[in-house]
Structure 1
Amino acid sequence: MTRLTIVAFDGTRHELDAANGSTVMENAVRNSVPGIEAECGGACACATCHVYVDDAWSEKVGPPAAMEEDMLDFAFDVRPTSRLSCQIKVSDALDGLVVHVPERQG
């Protein structure tokens, strides 16, 4: 299991144990993390699972792929560390990952 922390907009920290191969979005939805709407269910067809990758993890998570980058155009308050949580696959390399939920989605 990989440790994942999702920080809600109000500052509440959600510490989760996530299975490798799952996505950050799947774990957020499964654990009812507020602010992750995931309207398309993880198909990279909306921007309602938008998160900010913590600066310390940005390089390790990597940049968005082209399709994800296009969808981020629809997200609210996009920043250099913005990613769609449905596109971040959990792995041992991301043990301890911290992401932050924006004020609102889309």
Structure 2
Amino acid sequence: MIVAFSVAPSTSSEDGSVHDAVAAAVKVVRESGLPNRTSSMFTELEGDWDEVMDVVKRATEAVAAYGSRVSLVLKADIRPGRTGELDGKVERLESALQALGGPAAGTEPRG
């Protein structure tokens, strides 16, 4: 399965930043050894149900140290028997775009 999740404390530092709390969560994810990717808004994680949910739980607990309340947003793609989909899905998308004559990754116009 692949899980995309975002976790943050409901309270933040005086400047409104939650980066220290998010860094604590991402540290848990990276130390898990599972395939993962972090973007500006979500962290994606791939593995079987129990190991992925354990990492999400521990990442959430790491964020809880930064506030009295935690917000967790989670989306899952559950496909038993599939692995390598964290990169595979993106590779198939890029191939489809290339076949359509679309722009290469990272070259989309900014608005």
Q: Normalization by structure 2: what TM-score?
A: 0.30
Larger Rg: 2
Q: Normalization by structure 1: what TM-score?
A: 0.31
Higher helix share: 2
